[in-house]
């Protein structure tokens, strides 16, 4: 086993034998309060022999427990956010990816947790990870930012950053990452306060293009984002959109609503 793949005995035991094989299955992960406390102590004291394995444990933890808000509260209340933040700045793809995953899952809990992640300064380094040369890091960063943008506080933090170029790059891919379209959608949402039109107007052509995208997930995200912007800033935006497109969009949005109704009934 290479040195970078070696785990300390405690972390290996906590993760289970198959921890390195997959990031998704949670069978064998020790999520007892005692183990969680021990792992948080390693994180806070910088004593982990294998930081990648330690972060992988937390990644499993926030994925495995059904009540993600409970784990998020544990992480926030323990003061762990700055520690995870530090790993976003490391020149190490695995550390960046796992730390971004954990922070994104914390942000997916309660609004207070999402705001705590944004207040901890996660937005700027996450936006930086959208520019990573590694696609898996870009995807996790986009998904995490989408969760942060689900609150108006986090949304405005992202809108104030230099997010547009790297996000447009992801949205221009043949297979658009789900997190990228979710991020664009969430940046367009919310009315108290409204998202700043000056930050989002450059995204209008992209939204219009993605409305009829072949992926239902991407198309739905674009539809909901554009509907939100038109409701909030319609008077300013409608002159920028062709009448024929608006008609096509309205018909497509009605189709999306009918499909969603059937899926949920």
Per-residue model confidence as pLDDT tens digits over 101-147: 999 999 988 889 999 999 999 999 999 999 999 999 999 999 999 99
User: Which tens digits make up the pLDDT trace of 152-194?
Assistant: 999 999 999 999 999 999 999 999 999 999 999 999 998 889 9
For residue 136, the model assigns a pLDDT of 96
Q: If you average pLDDT over residues 29-57, what whole number do you get?
A: 88
CA distance 83 to 117: 12
What's the whole-number average pLDDT of the chain? Answer: 86
Asked if omega into 193 is within 30° of 0 (cis), the reply is yes
pLDDT score for 248: 92
Residue 257 has pLDDT above 80, yes or no: yes
Q: Where are the domains of the chain?
A: 188-265
Query: Is the predicted pLDDT of residue 221 greater than 90, yes or no?
Result: yes
The whole-angstrom separation of Cα 211 and Cα 226 is 8
Answer yes or no: are the C-beta atoms of 122 and 88 closer than 8 Å: yes
Tokens for 84, please give them. Answer: 């995870």
Position 206 scores a pLDDT of 94
Of residues 204, 213, 202, the one with CA closest to residue 252: 213
pLDDT band at residue 11, thresholds of 50, 70 and 90?
A: very low
pTM of the model: 0.85
Q: What is the average pLDDT across 70-92?
A: 92
Residue 27: its pLDDT value, please?
A: 61
Distances from the Cα of 130 to the Cαs of 124, 158, 238, in angstroms?
A: 10, 12, 30
Predicted confidence at residue 64, as pLDDT, reads 76
Tokens read off for 200: 């989002």
Residue 67: band (very low, low, confident or very high) from pLDDT cuts 50, 70, 90: low
Burial of 8 (0-12, 13-18, 19+ CB in 10 A): middle
For residues 54-64, average pLDDT? 88
d(CA 248, CA 137) in angstroms, rounded, equals 36
Residue 87 is predicted with a pLDDT of: 95
User: Would you say residue 208 has pLDDT above 50?
Assistant: yes
């Amino acid at each position: 086993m290479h040195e970078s793949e070696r785990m300390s005995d405690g972390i290996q035991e906590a993760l289970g034998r198959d921890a390195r094989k997959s990031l998704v299955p949670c069978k064998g992960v020790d999520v007892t309060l005692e183990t969680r406390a021990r792992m948080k102590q390693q994180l806070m004291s910088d004593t982990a022999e294998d930081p990648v394995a330690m972060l992988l444990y937390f990644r499993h933890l926030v994925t495995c427990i059904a009540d993600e808000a409970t784990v998020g509260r544990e992480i926030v209340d323990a003061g762990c956010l700055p520690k995870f933040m530090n790993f976003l700045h490391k020149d190490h793809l695995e550390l960046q990816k796992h730390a971004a995953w954990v922070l994104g899952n914390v942000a997916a809990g309660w609004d207070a947790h999402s705001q705590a992640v944004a207040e901890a300064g996660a937005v700027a380094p996450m936006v930086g990870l959208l520019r990573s040369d590694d696609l898996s890091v870009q995807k996790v960063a986009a998904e995490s930012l989408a969760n942060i943008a689900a609150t108006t506080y986090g949304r405005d933090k992202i809108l104030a950053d230099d997010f547009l170029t790297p996000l447009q790059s992801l949205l221009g891919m043949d297979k658009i990452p789900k997190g990228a379209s979710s991020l664009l959608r969430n940046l367009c949402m919310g009315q108290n306060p409204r998202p700043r039109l000056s930050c989002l107007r450059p995204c209008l052509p992209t939204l219009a293009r993605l409305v009829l995208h072949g992926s239902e997930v991407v198309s739905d995200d674009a539809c909901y984002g554009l509907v939100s912007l038109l409701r909030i800033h319609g008077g300013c935006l409608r002159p920028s959109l062709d009448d024929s497109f608006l008609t096509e969009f309205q018909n497509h949005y009605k189709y999306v609503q009918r499909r969603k109704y059937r899926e949920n009934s």
